[in-house]
Structure 1
Amino acid sequence: MIGWLGATTLFASPALWAADSTLWLERMAQAVREQSYHGSYVYERSGIFTTQDIWKQVGDDGIRERLLQTAGRYQEWLRQDGRLVCATNSSLSQGRSQTSLRAGVDPEQLLEWYSMRNLGTTRIASRDVTVIGIQPKDGFRFAHELYIDHETGLLLKSLLVDESRELLERFQFTTISFDEENYSSGLEPGESCREVSVVEPPAGVDVPFWEPQWIPPGFTLGERQIQSINGDGPYVSSQIYSDGLTSFTLFVEPLGRDKLAEDLRARLGPTVAVSRRLMADSDFYLATVVGEIPPRAAERIADSLSEAVVGARR
């Protein structure tokens, strides 16, 4: 089947490749919004593997999703409608869930920033999938391979590679079930899952939203919020930007006049973090760009941050 598809697509136009690929991405986006399931998957980046269980239920009260790391240190995340409800530690990490990251895919819009191609069929977790290859048209994002389930449209595997075709990240289901008893029984958080609150900071604590002077073309601002663990600081503002396929987040944390912080750049697999210490109204802030974008893009975003707070405040 793969060989036959590969042979026929040699004679197909790029427009036909794109049209076929966008239909698969539309199915994938619909499945994210509508499909409940329970499964286990492997996640790899920079040669480091971890395994996680995931329970997801789509109901009248929205989408509830729980992730549990099953190897190494115990970690757990619970989301309601994409918002982090609780986590096992004070990190603002959102856990790793490729399917939720792609809930807002707009396939037609993506064609402006990526080229797409149907690469054939194979099997993942004992299920038939179609493989869609996605190549960026600029240097501000990475290439993807998406393995989409024939029956449900769910993403069962993804690969993320850089411009040198080096594998940065692998996400792959090993088992998956659509039985209601399986996905509804594991949605309650454990005792160590600490509540994450979206709160108003107390008087005298200024948590601004900074507006970068440059972001990669195609990325738009989505959700803004202020987060803290247990509603008791530290208070950190976050702004999420996405092109529909990948995203980055800008975090801003007040440092105060006496607290020191260093500019930094770190990378693990496809995830890059770039921090800048900035000043506004004689106060210092640490602004950090975190996302699955090339380091040069993250550096440029961070360098473009203005020292004046121009965004809205909660």
Structure 2
Amino acid sequence: MRVIPLFVVLGGWLSMPAFAAEADVLMQRLAAAEKKQSYQGTFVYERNGSFSSHAVWQLADEQQLRERLLQLDGPAAEVVLLNGKIQCATEDMASQVREITPWRQQLEPDVLSKWYDFQVIGESRVAGRPTVALAIRPRDQHRYGFELHLDRETYLPLKSLLLDESGQLLERFQFTHFAPGSAAPSDLKGGADCKPVSLAAEQKEATSTKWRSDWLPDGFQLIDSDVRSSPASKESVTWLSYGDGIARVSVFIEPLGGAVVEDARSQMGPTVAVSKRISTADGDVMVTVVGEVPLGTAERIALSMRSGAGQATQ
């Protein structure tokens, strides 16, 4: 059940500056806390009507941050990370890490405040612990908003709700048990099925491409890019990743080589996929945009892709 911002009705406009100031402080504390806390716990993840449960351990010291994530439903699946780099993972688990840990990237509240409003909306309890509820609302229609319930002791998010333009729930991340300061080195060791992952592959530098976007939502910038061969067609597929510090989208561009394909669009929970056929001097290509943004935003990004130098960041 969502926290109802009763203070808007009861407190009146005179309370708004104080709440805004507290919201800014909470965002700063969240940004500082994420990679400096040791803890263990269990959480549930809800998306598109399906649920999964997970155990998580994090051990932080001055030199490194160790993390382990273990899926508790169905076949055992886990991943172990060191300073954000995957050390070992069971099959298919590595690709799921970002989906069920939405606050992995380093937050920069001063920058994010250009694209989002922060607002305290009340007090709550999550996993038996007192929390403060914080709304992160987009300033435009090109991205989604969040509702975070931050632990009063550690300022880590014990619950995160991803909301669409009308405030409807798209995704839920919520701890059912949270114990700060209790992770031990032995907890961070992966099981027998956790297979090593090459650090060289994880640290691969971005590959420059000839593709750019003529339009991006305010605050979105190019984060990463690569060019790879498609296993099916043997053509070179371009991949570009864009983000604003919270929201991210991936763009895939593949030459069609005369193939007849139709435009497509779909949405599963918060994730949308939009494919558009675009004509270029070198032939038609299929541009596919995948990410957690509104469908209209994904379509506009797809139609804005151009072949040439100079990346738009407006």
| Fold agreement, TM-score > 0.5 | yes
Q: SS at 1:33's partner residue? A: coil
1:223-259 per-residue CA deviation (whole Å, 9 max, x = no partner) reads: 446789xxxx99976543322232223345x568488
| Within-5 A mapping of 1:230-241 | 238-241=239-242
Please give the alpha-carbon distance, in whole angstroms, between the structure 2 residues aligned to 1:183 and 1:43: 25
Percent of residue pairs identical: 33
Please give the alpha-carbon distance, in whole angstroms, between the structure 2 residues aligned to 1:109 and 1:308: 28
Match of 1:172 in 2: 174
* Contact 2:237–2:255, Cα closer than 8 Å, also in 1: no
Q: SS at 1:306's partner residue? A: strand
Q: SS at 1:30's partner residue? A: helix
Please give the alpha-carbon distance, in whole angstroms, between the structure 1 residues aligned to 2:67 and 2:146: 24
Q: Does 1:16 align with 2:22?
A: no
Please give the alpha-carbon distance, in whole angstroms, between the structure 2 residues aligned to 1:116 and 1:199: 34
Match of 2:69 among 67, 70, 73: 67
CA shift, 1:216, in A, is 0.8
What is the aligned-residue RMSD (CA, Å)? 3.8
| TM-score calculated relative to the size of structure 2 | 0.77
Q: SS at 1:17's partner residue? A: helix
Quick one: structure 1 residues 270 and 208, their matched pair in 2 at CA, closer, same or farther if it must change by over 3 Å? Answer: same
Match of 2:294 in 1: 294
Unaligned stretches of 5+ residues in structure 1: none
CA shift, 1:58, in A, is 2.6
Quick one: structure 1 residues 190 and 26, their matched pair in 2 at CA, closer, same or farther if it must change by over 3 Å? Answer: farther
Q: SS at 2:19's partner residue? A: helix
Match of 1:161 in 2: 163
Quick one: structure 1 residues 69 and 304, their matched pair in 2 at CA, closer, same or farther if it must change by over 3 Å? Answer: same
| Within-5 A mapping of 1:80-95 | 80-87=82-89, 88-89=91-92, 92-95=95-98
Please give the alpha-carbon distance, in whole angstroms, between the structure 1 residues aligned to 2:100 and 2:241: 16
Please give the alpha-carbon distance, in whole angstroms, between the structure 2 residues aligned to 1:280 and 1:200: 29
CA shift, 1:159, in A, is 1.1
CA shift, 1:25, in A, is 1.0
- Which residue identity is paired with 2:92? N
Quick one: structure 1 residues 151 and 15, their matched pair in 2 at CA, closer, same or farther if it must change by over 3 Å? Answer: same
Please give the alpha-carbon distance, in whole angstroms, between the structure 2 residues aligned to 1:16 and 1:79: 39
1:78-116 per-residue CA deviation (whole Å, 9 max, x = no partner) reads: 444334455423984444344543x42222333322223
Match of 2:99 in 1: 96
- Which residue identity is paired with 2:250? T
CA shift, 1:265, in A, is 2.4
* Contact 1:207–1:236, Cα closer than 8 Å, also in 2: no
Q: SS at 2:246's partner residue? A: coil
Q: Does 1:116 align with 2:118?
A: yes
CA shift, 1:140, in A, is 0.6
Q: SS at 2:305's partner residue? A: coil
- Which residue identity is paired with 1:298? A
Please give the alpha-carbon distance, in whole angstroms, between the structure 1 residues aligned to 2:125 and 2:292: 26
Quick one: structure 1 residues 265 and 199, their matched pair in 2 at CA, closer, same or farther if it must change by over 3 Å? Answer: farther
1:146-200 per-residue CA deviation (whole Å, 9 max, x = no partner) reads: 1001111101101111122211111101112234544651342652546362487
CA shift, 1:136, in A, is 1.9
In terms of mean alpha carbon deviation, does 236-245 or 132-141 score higher?
A: 236-245
Match of 2:243 in 1: 242
- Which residue identity is paired with 2:222? L
Match of 2:264 in 1: 264
CA shift, 1:74, in A, is 4.3
